[in-house]
Each structure stands twice: as C-alpha cells, then as structure tokens.
Amino acid sequence: MGLGKKREFVDSLDLWFVDIMEFKNDSIFEISSIVRDSETGPTLGYTLVATSWYNLDGDTFKYYYSDALMHFYLPGQDDAVLYVPKAELKPVILDFFRKPEGVLTFSSDRRMFLLQPNCLIINEENDCVQFPVKEYIRVN
C-alpha cells in the first residue's frame, strides 16, 4: 500500500501537521506525526513514532500499537513546545481499551485513501462518538 500522508495546516500556529502511514509489509506499518513550516518542507520535529500491527480484511482496517515514542504537549505552560527532534521523543506504553477499527477505501487510481474510524460507544445510554474521516495522499 506504500506511504500515505495526511497534511493539515493550522492557521493560528502557521504550521503544517502531517500524519504519515508507511506500510512495510502485509501486517506492519509505521505511523508518525511530524510538524513542518510548509506543506512539503523539511521536518521541524515530531510528536509520535510507532511501529504498528494491522489487518485489512476487505475494507475493514484494524490496527494496534502498544509501544511508541511520543511528545506530550501541555498547553498553558510557559515552556511548552509543540514538537521535538525525533531523538527527544519519549518511550510510552499505550493500553488501548479497544483495537482501533474503521473502513479504509481507496480512490480508483489508488493515489488516495480514506480512513473512517468506527465510532466509539462509551456506554449503551450515550450516542456513539464519531471520529472525522482522515484523507491520506499516497506519495510512493
């Protein structure tokens, strides 16, 4: 499936936030989140890097990662930073209470894919919490 990028510009910060999914083989992909000052410019820093397991069955996409390198941004602190160099990411162990799952659809030319995560049911009395569709552009 190659490498896909989701780019989002945040006006108030004048920065680009880029989520990258790089599929290594038929069950492993690397996910990372980087920050840039232009859409395709050099990487300023990172917020996440993780190697993940995935399963694609038809259009049902499930993935899971437990070990990751992350940077936590804490708003309101005088010395808070949005991103750090990759070498300064900290190891964390993530404990998902569910394996993320959603629908993965490809454009007819396979240059773009959409990931629509399934909604989250917190309990039976509440509505399902919807997640936004993520659009990734294939770059290789």
Q: Cα 139 to the chain's mean position, in Å?
A: 16
Cα–Cα distance for residue pair 70/82, rounded to 1 Å: 11
Residue 80's pLDDT band, with cuts at 50, 70 and 90, is confident
Phi, psi of 112 (to 5 degrees): -145, 145
pLDDT at 36: 96
Residue 97's pLDDT band, with cuts at 50, 70 and 90, is low
The stretch 50-69 carries a mean pLDDT of 89
Q: Which of 18, 77, 78, 75 lies closest to 48 in space, CA to CA?
A: 18
Q: Which of 17, 23, 27 lies closest to 3 in space, CA to CA?
A: 23
pLDDT at 50: 92
Encode pLDDT of 16-42 as tens digits.
Answer: 999 999 998 889 999 999 999 999 889
